[in-house]
Structure 1
């Protein structure tokens, strides 16, 4: 039952947010970029449950990571870039929405 409640709560907490609103979290090194092939909710649940094996696998495969300097630079140039976000304290998980060229 706990897993269902956790998934429901985290799902309700997901939001689409622009880079300007995420930037303060990046400045405190709390942003985690989630690869587009992963389900943001699944990642949030794994982190919330401290599922080290799964999370370490994603890190090793570079499916979740801190934003690179290049990403931060790109997003600062385009502060209205939208992201799907999920807060799992102390982190803010983000997935970029759409492609802006």
Structure 2
């Protein structure tokens, strides 16, 4: 079953780094740049759109988190992310704190 972008957008959830860490350890985390719509990225990954994905990887728009990012997140285990599961991956985007 192929989901639509709209269905994927409705599935976006919020998770803390502490909850996502296990997925990193199994190699399942994909960090998505804020300039890419998370549902669109999930649709491309689910649809195995290798041309777009390869372009995003080569430009650093998606990929595995860096060691410095992981260290920063490990020091703030309650850091929040938007996340979307596209089995076997968990696509994440950093949530920026909002100030009122």
Q: TM-score, normalised by structure 1?
A: 0.90
SS at match of 1:45: helix
RMSD: 1.7
Q: TM-score, normalised by structure 2?
A: 0.90
Aligned to 1:69: 67
Number of residue-to-residue matches in the alignment:
98
List 4+ stretches of structure 1 deviating above 4 A. none
Unaligned runs of 5+ in 2: none
Instruction: Give the counterpart of 1:96 among 94, 97, 100.
Output: 94
| Structure 1 segment 10-25 matched on structure 2, within 5 A | 10-25=8-23
User: How big is each residue's C-alpha offset from its partner over 1:38-82, in whole Å with a ceiling of 9 and x where there is no partner?
Assistant: 100100000000001100000010100101111110000000000
SS at match of 1:92: strand
| Structure 1 segment 1-101 matched on structure 2, within 5 A | 5-99=3-97
Unaligned runs of 5+ in 1: none
Higher normalized helix content (fraction of residues): 1
